[in-house]
Structure 1
Amino acid sequence: MEEECAEVVVNVNHPRLDRIYHYRVPEHWERPEVGVRVTVPFGYQTVQGWLVGYSSPPAGIPLKEISGVSSPEPVLTRELIAIARWMAEHYLHPLSEILKIMTPPERPRRRLRSPVPLKILSPPRPGKVILTREQVVALKEIISSLRAREARRFLLYGVTGSGKTEVYLRAAAAAISLGRQVLYLVPEIALTPQAGAWFRAVFGERVAVWHSRLSRGEKYRIWEGVKRGELRVLIGPRSAVLAPFSDLGLIVVDEEHDPSYKQQEKPYYHARDVAEQRALLNKAVLVLGSATPSLESYNRAGEGSYRLLTMFRRPQGRTFPRISVIDLRTEQDLGAGFLSRYLREQIQLRLERREQVILFLNRRGFAPLVFCPVCGYVLKCKNCSISLVYHRTTGDLRCHYCNSRCRLPERCPWCGSAKKLTLLGSGTQRVEYFIRRLYPEARIQRLDLDATRKREAFARILDSFARKEIDILLGTQMVTKGHDFPGVTLVGVLNADLALNLPDYRAAERTFQLLTQVAGRAGRGRIPGEVVIQTYHPGHYSIWSACRRDYLSFYREEIRNRAYLGYPPFEELIRVRILGEREQEVKSLASALAEEFRELLQEAPVAVLGPAPAPVLKARGYYRWQIMLKGKCSGSHGKIKACLDRYYDKTNVIINVEVDPFGF
């Protein structure tokens, strides 16, 4: 019987070379383990690759030998290789690029500290937290599945402040007591310190936090600790879902609805879906938690794919905040800071009581539109087809797509008029400027991307706010995510309509989620809270449902719309985006590709929409056209990939394929 040959994925960045290659293992070698890095002859060069399995050699093909083994121990587990294969097939992405992001950092040259030894597990804060009946019911089901070692999936739908974190902690304690590991995912890096503090208070040094800002040495130490089973809990954003667990027993995806779980650059993947696959392979329990579940997850719960657990009460009898809606169409005294008279009065009242305020405006900068009052010319980015935003703190104009900057010109670049350019609209910087003048004695802090560029700035701001060193926290969507500040008794949403105007079929869902999440920051302590929502569309179902805390009404309306229009979860979407420096070339190739899709998929239940210009035609110097494939796409992935392979050699353009795209 002929000896098996090695299956190797080469680390060559070209979609047309994305397949398994077969090599012989030299006769005098011990057989390398699956998961090691190898060097192999490839064409006229030697390249790096991954040994991903063994199989019978293909008939009639002379095989080359593996040149060397780069890592004596496997860098990838068999389970991760299986996950990578699933991701490559599901997301139509080269397997080599997925294996690359799974590969751990190289071991640093300096000596690492010894790992912290495991200690005996103690129960989480015994006697300090009294569980509600809903928490007890949820925990009973989760722990029962953990003990049975079932690959069970739960959707934990709990209103803001209902105690979901306590359920996560106690479920983690149960998993660890059974000798298994826990993965706890959060949407943003900025949320990892808070989550790390929760888990370290219970489980001590067996907890690690993983994210992209760690040093190479820190990453290596954590990676090895997880792989060897020395670390029992790993906390992190979406990249942590690819860590090499030795015995993964529980996965928690907190705020599962959050779009940050979808990677917006290659390789495109959704951490929630990858977590589900890992749970199945490991016979682990998956808990998706949210106060505003994604429509896809809630629909799966309705179909029986997920077990729905609900928590509608806040512990210790805490009440929900009162919600007041301000109709901006009738507001006579809005002011430059976009604050209605009622909201200004409520802020003043909270300051007098020494209570805290959160103001939410999901738009950075001082003025999102700068134009000439003489000719009407709008200043736009030279690299992107979008308007420049004026930032008062630095005195420059910025593009929020490519981050290019320029000074505010003294004359209009179009007509040459010396008349002062008009700054239109409100961003967080303009509101900050206005409220500092309105409340000169208040301690005010802005929380957005511009204010948190320095390392640890986000954590410092939140820590100061938690210690009540800040009276008013003004921010973008950063302020909506999972924070617990008992001193906050007023939340103001300055413009609830911003997300509604996005060219995205999820716009209503995103609006409902943002409003519900930011409203949940108020009244989490003993003092009742209030939420003031300012809107031009008080009758829109996403807004009035959020004001009534009525997820089911929103879900019923939105799911009807999705069914009528054929959007997920009823149909699948694949976006094929073509990018290039010359628009006509991009447009021509997009047209040719769309025609080939139509011919190839004419018998398949898939509609080919487009080509059409992307909503932002030009970004970072590249023109962008796109084709949407809509329907039962998963059954046609092979045909779609074969079609794309014929176009990847067009060297003057870039083709990006995104399954289940977020943002348009």
Structure 2
Amino acid sequence: MQQAELLLPEGVPEIGYVDVVVDVSSMLTPLTYFYDPLSAEIPIFGGRYAVPLNSRNEQGWVVDISPPAPPQPTRLRPLGRQISVGPPPVVVEVCIAAAKLWSCSPAPFLKAASPKRNIRPIDLDWAAISRPEGSDGVAEAMFGRGGSQIWEAPNYDEIGWVNSAFVHYRAHNRSVIVAMPNESRISVLHSELRRLGVPVLEYPRDYLAIAHGRHPAVILGARSALLAPSVGVGAIVVFDSVDPSMREQAYPHWEAWRLAELRAGVECCELLLVGAAPAVETLNSSLVVRHPELSRYRGGWSRIETVSMVEELDSDPLSRIGRYRDLGRRISSESVATPDFDLVVVHNAKGFSSQLLCAKCGSLQRCEACNGVVSAVGERPLEMVLSRVESLRRKVVPARLTCGTCGLQRPVVCQVCGSQRIRPISSGVDRLGPTVEGILGEKVAVVAKGSEPTTEDQIRVVVGTEAALLRSITSSVVVFLEFDRWVHSVSVDRLQRSLYQIARASKSVSMAAGVVYLQMRDGSDLLYEAMRDRNLRQLYRTELDQRMSLGLPPYRYFARVTGRRVAEMHELSEVLAADLPHELFDIDEKTTLISAASETELAEVVLLTAARVSSLKYEMFPRNL
């Protein structure tokens, strides 16, 4: 262990020692502090304390308490005052195991597992809390010991899964932890469970009630609920583990399903990963993949239509938007239950491109003199024109096209076909919303990450990124303008992310028996067949075969390393390769990928490297290589 610097006081008869994880991300190992057991209370395992570090105070968690021992000739500093009670011992064990897997300090996990408000030891004493009566033995699992990946249809019943798990484990006096994405979906599930009479506690809001655990309950929350302070867990249920919100966006980028697998192993409880688009890594792991009966699976899909923009000789993704709007209005009027919206247009892009495209022939607009990129300028200087419809709607009349290289100007006419339908090669949802408003002649809501859902009843059309589908909204028609953005992205998880979006869209239109349209320019035959047959298994088999041939997860695992000292890793790598086989791939001067055959080997290589080469940033299991 590292040791904080200060000489021990003289004349102290006995000294106790504690290991503390300090809330500093660069400190991968605990620091050792001392306390006087004669003049101070024995520190609480997992408790949060103020600790001196250099010239300042930081918070830290006690992760090991050694018995009192004679003072040693070392340089230590005293443990400070207690701030609050921390997580229980079983959760601390999970946090330490997670830190080893993600090659980081346990501090981010301990912080997520700690109460948001300070709790006094008199209000919560872990030593006095025991497992609920009747929960000491091994409970009979729903599907057998270990973990299961439940491959459900998109329109599966989340409430039914949670209620069934709770009823099963309530007989063994155990609670069920449920982690799912998005606050709106959590709120809906919470309300429905309460309506059924199921006791529900939300993490972290009901921290004390979860900790005392007097009666079995459903512990519900986002990904951090996997660290809830329950001491009698029968099962952990994770919904839609491939949702973007189920992966921590900040360092150390931990994923919910991996953390759930760790806790299930520590707690010896059952793990259920439920979703319509499972993570590819889970299909080649120790988890047992379980499928519903094929007819029931296919019946859980809504109608999916693929539209080839190439076959229809149409390069304008908005050319069919009026037809989609009329169809959505008709389906909503005929539906027994009125959906929230008639039409949801999904375009997973923000911002604006200055490159202009002819909407009729699809040619890129260039300068005749120098072949440079031209831009449209309206009556107001330097205002870019998105499309003819939007420019007229905003009272911006495009007067000319100007080359940014040589300054040559020409009328707003395509140099190939003579059409005046000139538009940007791509537009984000912020600019796409007004364009759709101009086409449809009605107000449109724009939804992106972080935006608030609309509450206006008269708005029946939504334009948004994937964030629009991640919420609990219903619609009659969902349209993906350019689905190729998901299929052909460079992300490792492009398949599961794209299929997850289709599954969310299918569930969104299920209430009104609506339709999902996938507009594509370069479609995949396998995708067409999968949507026609309503069966994704062949797509996943093909993806696993490709990953095996390319050496990608789950057959090899990667960590991205960035920093100015990545060159020093090569010498160290030669030393470590004898005991821990791995490979290095240089991306640029400051970025390197470490590859190993297993998660544990990769974590060991990264931990040894971090201990010897400082000032480097690590990302385990990156989504983009």
Question: Does TM, normalized by the shorter one, top 0.5?
Answer: yes
Q: CA deviation at 1:244?
A: 1.6
Q: Which residue of 1 aligns with 2:517?
A: 532
Q: Which residue of 2 aligns with 1:480?
A: 469
For residues 161-207 of structure 1, the C-alpha deviation after alignment (integer angstroms, 9 at most, x for no partner) is 23343122232244345432222211223422222222222246x43
Q: CA deviation at 1:542?
A: 4.1
Is 2:209 the partner of 1:225? yes
Query: More displaced, 260-269 or 33-42?
Result: 33-42
Q: Which residue of 1 aligns with 2:157?
A: 163
Q: Which residue of 1 aligns with 2:597?
A: 631
Which AA in structure 2 matches 1:183? I
After TM superposition, the structure 1 = structure 2 runs for residues 569-608 of structure 1, keeping only pairs within 5 Å, are: 569-578=554-563, 586=564, 589-601=565-577, 604-608=580-584
Match of 1:82 among 78, 82, 93: 93
Q: Which residue of 2 aligns with 1:145?
A: 141
Q: Which residue of 2 aligns with 1:310?
A: 292
Structure 1: which 5+ runs fail to align?
Answer: 113-141, 211-218, 380-388, 396-409, 579-585, 614-623
Q: CA deviation at 1:238?
A: 1.4
- C-alpha distance in 2 between matches for 1:277 and 1:176: 23
Q: Which has the larger radius of gyration?
A: 2
* Partners of 1:41 and 1:64 within 8 A in 2: no
Q: Which residue of 2 aligns with 1:348?
A: 326
Which AA in structure 1 matches 2:488? N
* Partners of 1:13 and 1:97 within 8 A in 2: no
* Partners of 2:582 and 2:594 within 8 A in 1: no
Q: Which residue of 2 aligns with 1:435?
A: 436
Q: Which residue of 1 aligns with 2:610?
A: 644
After TM superposition, the structure 1 = structure 2 runs for residues 202-281 of structure 1, keeping only pairs within 5 Å, are: 202-203=196-197, 206-210=199-203, 222-229=206-213, 232-281=217-266
For this pair of structures, how many residues does the alignment match?
Answer: 548
Distance 1:440 1:234, change over 3 A: same
- C-alpha distance in 1 between matches for 2:231 and 2:386: 48
Q: Which residue of 2 aligns with 1:135?
A: none
Which AA in structure 1 matches 2:612? R
Q: CA deviation at 1:90?
A: 0.8
- C-alpha distance in 2 between matches for 1:59 and 1:636: 39
Q: Which residue of 2 aligns with 1:490?
A: 477
Q: Which residue of 1 aligns with 2:82?
A: 70
* Partners of 1:11 and 1:96 within 8 A in 2: yes
Q: CA deviation at 1:4?
A: 9.1
Which AA in structure 2 matches 1:553? Q
Distance 1:324 1:47, change over 3 A: closer
Q: CA deviation at 1:327?
A: 1.2
Q: Which residue of 1 aligns with 2:192?
A: 198
Q: CA deviation at 1:636?
A: 5.4
Distance 1:180 1:299, change over 3 A: same
Is 2:546 the partner of 1:549? no
Which AA in structure 1 matches 2:495? A
Q: Which residue of 2 aligns with 1:188?
A: 182
Query: More displaced, 37-46 or 153-162?
Result: 37-46
SS in 1 for 2:534: coil
- C-alpha distance in 1 between matches for 2:354 and 2:596: 35
- C-alpha distance in 1 between matches for 2:51 and 2:549: 53
How high is the sequence identity, in percent, across the aligned residues? 18
For residues 636-664 of structure 1, the C-alpha deviation after alignment (integer angstroms, 9 at most, x for no partner) is 5444323223332x5xxxx2211111234
Q: Which residue of 2 aligns with 1:516?
A: 503
- C-alpha distance in 2 between matches for 1:412 and 1:610: 41
Query: More displaced, 160-169 or 281-290?
Result: 160-169
Which AA in structure 2 matches 1:321? S
Distance 1:576 1:161, change over 3 A: same
For residues 188-239 of structure 1, the C-alpha deviation after alignment (integer angstroms, 9 at most, x for no partner) is 23422222222222246x43444xxxxxxxx5x5222222226833322212
Distance 1:349 1:305, change over 3 A: closer
SS in 1 for 2:196: helix
Which AA in structure 2 matches 1:87? A
Q: Which residue of 1 aligns with 2:32?
A: 21
Query: More displaced, 638-647 or 62-71?
Result: 62-71
* Partners of 1:155 and 1:287 within 8 A in 2: yes
- C-alpha distance in 2 between matches for 1:29 and 1:169: 47
Q: Which residue of 1 aligns with 2:115?
A: 104
Distance 1:540 1:236, change over 3 A: farther
- C-alpha distance in 1 between matches for 2:315 and 2:247: 37
Distance 1:476 1:547, change over 3 A: farther
Q: CA deviation at 1:24?
A: 4.4
CA RMSD, 1 decimal:
4.1
Q: Which residue of 1 aligns with 2:338?
A: none
Q: Which residue of 2 aligns with 1:609?
A: 585
Which AA in structure 2 matches 1:561? Q
* Partners of 2:207 and 2:229 within 8 A in 1: yes
If the length of structure 2 is used for normalisation, what is the TM-score? 0.76
After TM superposition, the structure 1 = structure 2 runs for residues 369-448 of structure 1, keeping only pairs within 5 Å, are: 369=354, 375-376=372-373, 423-440=424-441, 444-448=444-448
SS in 2 for 1:522: helix
Which AA in structure 2 matches 1:490? V
* Partners of 1:331 and 1:340 within 8 A in 2: no
- C-alpha distance in 2 between matches for 1:426 and 1:143: 54
* Partners of 1:172 and 1:182 within 8 A in 2: yes
- C-alpha distance in 1 between matches for 2:234 and 2:385: 49
Query: More displaced, 499-508 or 290-299?
Result: 499-508
Match of 2:551 among 566, 581, 595: 566
- C-alpha distance in 2 between matches for 1:17 and 1:334: 53
Structure 2: which 5+ runs fail to align?
Answer: 1-12, 124-137, 334-340, 357-364, 377-383, 391-399, 413-421
- C-alpha distance in 2 between matches for 1:502 and 1:628: 22
- C-alpha distance in 1 between matches for 2:290 and 2:36: 50
* Partners of 1:5 and 1:25 within 8 A in 2: yes
Q: CA deviation at 1:47?
A: 4.8
* Partners of 2:211 and 2:229 within 8 A in 1: yes
Query: More displaced, 153-162 or 364-373?
Result: 364-373
* Partners of 1:151 and 1:280 within 8 A in 2: no
- C-alpha distance in 2 between matches for 1:493 and 1:411: 30
- C-alpha distance in 1 between matches for 2:159 and 2:448: 25
If the length of structure 1 is used for normalisation, what is the TM-score? 0.71
Q: CA deviation at 1:29?
A: 3.6
- C-alpha distance in 2 between matches for 1:661 and 1:509: 15
* Partners of 1:366 and 1:391 within 8 A in 2: no
Which AA in structure 2 matches 1:225? A
* Partners of 1:7 and 1:23 within 8 A in 2: yes
* Partners of 2:509 and 2:516 within 8 A in 1: yes
Distance 1:489 1:224, change over 3 A: same
Q: CA deviation at 1:313?
A: 5.2
Distance 1:415 1:230, change over 3 A: farther
